[in-house]
Amino acid sequence: MSGPKGVQCKHIAEEPILRLLRSFDGKWATWRDTDLMPTVVPAFPAGTPAKVVMAKMASLIRRGLVDGCTCGCRGDYVLTDRGAEWPRRRYGA
């Protein structure tokens, strides 16, 4: 899937997304650009279309790194245990 600027899911780094979710400490995050609840938007390149954000999150959910909903509602993304371990193991953070 690609957006108007050619941003594609597979080109988006997942490490910043997983780190950001970890910083929310179990609070649910959304794909929307909002101040009302935690959001994953700051972990994406500026201007990433919402549908690409949602598709990227869906791929992380499929891989078991993130829990949440892919139906187009607010998402309610949280890290799974596996997602919490993944960047630490891979990057030593």
Of 50 and 69, the one with the shorter C-beta distance to Zn ion is 69
Question: What is the rounded CA–CA span in Å between residue 69 and residue 47?
Answer: 22
Output the smallest distance, CB 73 to Zn ion, in A: 3
Output the smallest distance, CB 37 to Zn ion, in A: 14
Question: What is the rounded CA–CA span in Å between residue 70 and residue 75?
Answer: 6
Output the smallest distance, CB 6 to Zn ion, in A: 28
Q: Which residues bind Zn ion (CB under 5 A)?
A: 69, 71, 73
Contact 72, 78 (CB under 8 A): no
